[in-house]
Amino acid sequence: MMRVFGTPVNSALRLRLRVFVQRPSAVPWRAPSKRFRSTVVGRGPVHNHLWDHIQILDNRVAQSAKELGDLKVDVQRLAGELKADMGELKGDMGELKGDMHKSIRELTISMEKGFGAINSRFRELELGVAGTRWRVHLLFGGVAGVAGVVGWLGANAEALWGLMAG
């Protein structure tokens, strides 16, 4: 039994496929009729035509393999460039991150200073208000105290004049 590309072929199909096979079968077979005697493997026009197609396909496969190899080299080169660019971007992002942290620290410090100044001003105002309250309290308490003293002095004026005269 004849095999074409590893597949067994029966004798009826073998006569038709003889043209496709490059070497004759090792199995002896009946000679075809006189009409087909010129169609020996490698000699007929059909074989030449098919062989041309095989060569065209082989050339296309070789060209595709070459293009694929070139594409692989280009992809590797671009991957290396992309990796280098990503490294640069990562470095730039690190610098930006450091700058951002520094800016945030500076902003935090300035805000703390600003809030500290605001808090101290509020304390001054609170102390001022408390001092004003104390002063007002002393003032009104003093007025009451002075009125009390004046009233006491008025009540005891004769005795005081007597002490002063005497």
Q: Tell me the average pLDDT of the chain.
A: 69
Task: State the average pLDDT over residues 140-160.
Answer: 58
CA R_g for the chain: 58
pTM: 0.33
| 77 has pLDDT over 90 | yes
| Residue 1 neighbours by CB under 8 Å, 6+ apart | 8, 9, 10, 27
Greater pLDDT, 4 or 48: 48
* Residue 74: DSSP 8-state: H
pLDDT digits (tens, 9 = 90+) for 100-124: 888 888 888 887 777 777 767 666 6
Average pLDDT over residues 137-155: 55
3: β partners? 8
Angle at which helices 45-155 and 157-165 cross, to 10°: 60
User: Is residue 149's pLDDT more than 80?
Assistant: no
